[in-house]
């Protein structure tokens, strides 16, 4: 009982939540990542959060799995900025491979930027602010591996991966058959992704992928229908708390059936036609739309972002204040890591506003 209580308190301290046996999630401001544990206590990390979050991610891992027990690998649902922010730092510290779909490689190796986000889709503060989100690819330096073509998941024998493109060209989801647990990534999400208010309220509902970052709606529709056909009992997504049971079933079935009405925005750059991509990255983009985001909406978005930042900072301070033991980082105990302490590790990227002339900085 005491061990269970200690584990619960540690999860709260790190903004973590239990999804199912062997699966823990962590929310970093507005995006989730997942720790998946095997019966033999080995584990993997799915996605890598926002820039600057590496320390939180690994400290939560230490609390759950013990010091000196790095993951076997990091698996990516896709490579958007909010899912790979701490990737380089964590891979360097843990000295582990990173697995992704081959169609994501251009955006992980500096070859191509993603199709630029589209704030004209509207829907809330997160969408109105999307013109400010990082657009450039990362240039990952490390062991970047392809997910096996047979659908098996490295180091997770109970799981399989599923192609779910649309939100990004090589987006994938992960599925565990025995309890029908789905890690959906952003193929669909469990709160309204365009709304900053929804981030604060955590109101649950099955929604389509974040519209401002989805460049292929036909593929996105097919992906939602494919995931619905799996009949998941539990769904954990990139944004929002996990959903399960009848509420999930009804919401996902409705989204699959009425995808065009519920998910596809009424206007937007990628609504009439998708971005064309291949293994080298972006090949062709549809023409830009006339989108002068009203100043009041842009201002509202900035206020919402400031509110989210304040909310996250306050939660972190409260957690530290309420923690019974103040922890310090004595140096990672992985014998394979070339880093001795956190002072030797620097984040490899920062959350900055790309200049307008860099929005398509390396498209063919």
Say yes or no to pLDDT of 306 above 70.
no
Pairing of strands 43-46, 74-75: parallel
Provide the CATH number for the domain around residue 55. 3.60.15.10
Provide the Cα torsion 173, 177, 179, 182; round to 10°. Answer: 10
In-domain check, residue 364: no
pLDDT for residue 107: 98
Tell me: pLDDT of 116 over 90. Answer: yes
Of 86-90, 129-133, 295-299, minimum mean pLDDT range: 295-299
Domain presence at residue 356: no
User: How much is the pLDDT for 297?
Assistant: 52
For residue 229, tell me if it sits in a domain.
Answer: yes
Q: Is the pLDDT of residue 277 over 50?
A: yes
Higher per-residue pLDDT: 178 or 126: 178
| pLDDT tens string 230-246 | 999 999 999 999 999 99
Q: Could you write out the DSSP letters of every residue in 276-300?
A: EEETTEEEE-PPPP-----HHHHHH
Cα(131)–Cα(136) distance, integer angstroms: 12
Q: Identify whether 310 is part of a domain.
A: yes
User: Percentage of residues in the chain with pLDDT exceeding 90?
Assistant: 68
CA atoms of 297 and 212, how far apart (whole Å): 15
CA dist list (Å): 3 to 6, 156, 177:
5, 26, 29
Residues forming beta bridges with residue 234, ordered by sequence position? 181, 244
Q: Total structural domains in the chain?
A: 1
CA 47 to chain centre: 6
Q: For all residues of the chain together, what is the average pLDDT?
A: 83
pLDDT value of residue 348: 34
pLDDT value for 279: 96
Question: Is 358 within the bounds of a domain?
Answer: no
Q: Is 355 a member of any domain?
A: no
* pLDDT beyond 90 at 304: no
Contact 100, 170 (CB under 8 A): yes
Lowest average pLDDT, out of 115-129, 198-212, 262-276, 279-293, goes to 279-293
pLDDT band at residue 15 using 50, 70 and 90 as cut-offs: confident
SS3 1: coil
pLDDT class of 163 with cuts at 50, 70, 90: very high
Does 185 map to a domain?
yes
Beta strands in the chain (DSSP E): 16-20, 23-28, 31-37, 43-46, 74-75, 98-100, 144-146, 152-153, 156-163, 172-176, 181-185, 234-237, 243-244, 276-278, 281-284
In a domain, 150, yes or no: yes
Specify which residues 160 forms β-bridges with.
Answer: 152, 175
pLDDT classification of 8: cutoffs 50, 70, 90: very low
Question: Tell me: the pLDDT tens digits for 25-77?
Answer: 999 999 999 999 999 999 999 999 999 999 999 999 999 999 999 999 999 99
221 pLDDT band, cuts 50/70/90, is very high
In which residue are the tokens 């200049």 written? 355
Domain that holds residue 298: 2-345
Q: Does residue 331 register a pLDDT over 60?
A: no
């Amino acid at each position: 009982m005491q061990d269970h209580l200690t584990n619960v308190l540690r999860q709260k301290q790190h903004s973590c939540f239990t999804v199912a046996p062997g699966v823990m999630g962590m929310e970093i401001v507005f995006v989730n990542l997942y720790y998946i544990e095997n019966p033999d206590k080995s584990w993997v990390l799915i996605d890598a959060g926002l820039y600057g979050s590496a320390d939180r991610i690994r400290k939560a891992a230490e609390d759950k799995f013990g010091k000196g027990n790095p993951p076997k690998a990091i698996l990516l649902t896709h490579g958007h900025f909010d899912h790979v922010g701490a990737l380089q730092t964590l891979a360097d510290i843990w000295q582990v491979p990173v697995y992704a779909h081959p169609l994501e490689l251009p955006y992980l190796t500096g070859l191509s930027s993603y199709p630029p986000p589209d704030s004209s889709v509207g829907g809330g503060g997160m969408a109105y602010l999307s013109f400010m989100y990082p657009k450039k690819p990362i240039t990952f330096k490390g062991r970047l591996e392809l997910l096996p073509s047979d659908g098996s998941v490295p180091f997770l024998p109970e799981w399989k991966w599923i192609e779910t493109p649309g939100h990004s060209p090589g987006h994938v989801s992960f599925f565990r058959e025995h309890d029908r647990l789905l890690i959906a990534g952003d193929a669909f999400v469990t709160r309204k992704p365009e709304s900053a208010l929804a981030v604060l309220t955590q109101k649950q509902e099955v929604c389509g992928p974040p519209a401002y970052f989805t460049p292929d709606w036909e593929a996105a529709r097919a992906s939602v229908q494919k995931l619905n056909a799996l009949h998941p009992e539990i769904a954990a997504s990139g944004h929002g708390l996990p959903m399960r049971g009848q509420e999930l079933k009804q919401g996902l079935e409705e989204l699959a059936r009425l995808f065009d009405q519920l998910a596809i925005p009424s206007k937007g750059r990628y609504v009439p036609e998708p971005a064309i991509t291949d293994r080298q990255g972006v090949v062709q983009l549809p023409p830009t739309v006339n989108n002068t985001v009203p100043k009041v909406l842009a201002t509202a978005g900035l206020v919402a972002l400031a509110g989210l930042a304040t909310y996250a900072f306050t939660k972190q301070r409260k957690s530290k204040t309420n923690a019974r033991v103040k922890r310090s980082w004595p140096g990672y105990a992985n014998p394979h890591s070339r880093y001795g302490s956190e002072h030797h590790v620097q984040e490899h990227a920062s959350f900055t506003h790309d200049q307008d002339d860099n929005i398509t900085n390396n498209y063919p």
